[in-house]
Amino acid sequence: MIIQLENNISGDRLEKIKSQVLKMGFDHNLVKTQFANYLVGIGKKDIDLRTIGSLEGIEDIHRVSDQYKLVSSKWKLNQTAVDLGDGILIGNGNFGIMAGPCSIESEEQVIHTVEHLKKNHIYIMRGGVYKPRSSPYSFRGLGIEGLRMFHKHCSENGIKIITEVMQVSQIDEMLKYVDIFQVGARNSQNFNLLDALGKVDKPVMLKRGIAGTIDELLQAAEYIFSNGNEKILLCERGIRTFEKAYRNTLDLNAVAILKDKSHLPVIVDSSHGIGIRKYIEPMTLAGVMTGADGIIIEVHEEPEKAISDGQQSLNFDEADALYKNVRTILQAKRQLN
Ligand code: PEP
Ligand code: MN
């Protein structure tokens, strides 16, 4: 059960509501976000909402008995739009394109990628400075110095930054340079990290775990929301299956299901989702058709020389074609019944 409370509810009214919730046989959890206050009732009982709905201080009340509640579409009928500032939104009809290298490698690379994005009217650049790598001997990113340099060029050019945060201790130093914190597949159920990102007023893009179910992804998102941060993007980036012909299995079923089960925007990452350059465009377009609210694409000026994930990075010309075709598909999709 989700009880939306009046924004400035008095302590007195809140106590009355809490005690009624307990009387009805529910535990409760008070959630205060950037936008609203909620009392989440935890329990499985069948209830008559009229026994509580008339209490003062309640704006709205909804029955949600799933393990995840605040991220569920059962109580929020409108789709969420995540606002990145400066008129850039993702979700609820606003499509987001994010592109850039797997790893931030050099200043020259950032300058050239920013130029490429601006030419294509793209305002969100991706690029990791803390890189989760399967081998400890691989390049692990330029760290906070790299992020400062990345931020300098992006902020001078009106470009927002999405970059991965790997641990709680990095959040504070990254905060002023980041527009979207990315939680990588390997950290999808790092509950301490999710708790901490729930206390920050910055959008978070949460990737699905390598072997994570849809339900687990939604429960992970619930950690962020229930700690106070409603600005969440869900990301399908492929899961590990028995198939060896490609890197991961981009699960477009999940995109359709997430769009139904949750009000949060869904992003498709076909770069990691299939992991082979020549299939990135068709899989991206399929993701758009499936209902994604945005895409995230790995792009590199010279993919052969990329320090990480070159095999799945598009060069600038390939990326130009992809953006154009994504926009064509979006337009065509608007004409469908
Ligand atoms: C990445 O975005 O470069 C990355 C490491 O992603 P994932 O966590 O999906 O593997
Ligand atoms: Mn990558």
Which atom number of ligand 1 is nearest to the Cα of residue 237?
9
pLDDT classification of 5: cutoffs 50, 70, 90 = very high
Which atom number of ligand 1 is nearest to the Cα of residue 235?
9
Q: Indicate which residue's Cα is closest to atom 1 of ligand 1.
A: 102
What's the chain's average pLDDT?
96
Under 8 Å between Cβ of 33 and 225: yes
What tens digit of pLDDT does each residue of 58-90 get? 999 999 988 999 999 999 989 999 999 999 999
pLDDT of amino acid 7: 92
Q: Indicate which residue's Cα is closest to atom 10 of ligand 1.
A: 185
Please give the structure tokens belonging to residue 141.
């990113």
What's the DSSP call for residue 128?
Answer: B
* Ligand 2 geometric centre to CA of 186 (Å): 12
Mean pLDDT for 298-319 is 98
Say yes or no to pLDDT of 46 above 80: no
* Ligand 2 geometric centre to CA of 127 (Å): 8
pLDDT of amino acid 199: 98
pLDDT of amino acid 94: 98
**What residue segments make up the domains of the chain, in order of their start?**
2-62, 82-336
Mean pLDDT for 39-60 is 87
Sign of the alpha-carbon torsion through 117, 120, 122, 127: negative
What tens digit of pLDDT does each residue of 241-250 get? 999 999 999 9
Which atom number of ligand 1 is nearest to the Cα of residue 272?
9
pLDDT classification of 45: cutoffs 50, 70, 90 = confident
Coil, helix or strand at residue 90: strand
Domain made up of 82-336: CATH architecture? Alpha-Beta Barrel (3.20)
pLDDT of amino acid 47: 79
Strand 294-298 relative to strand 266-268, pairing: parallel
The 10 Å Cβ neighbour count of residue 168 is 14
In CATH terms, the superfamily for domain 2-62 is: Phospho-2-dehydro-3-deoxyheptonate aldolase; domain 1 (3.30.70.1140)
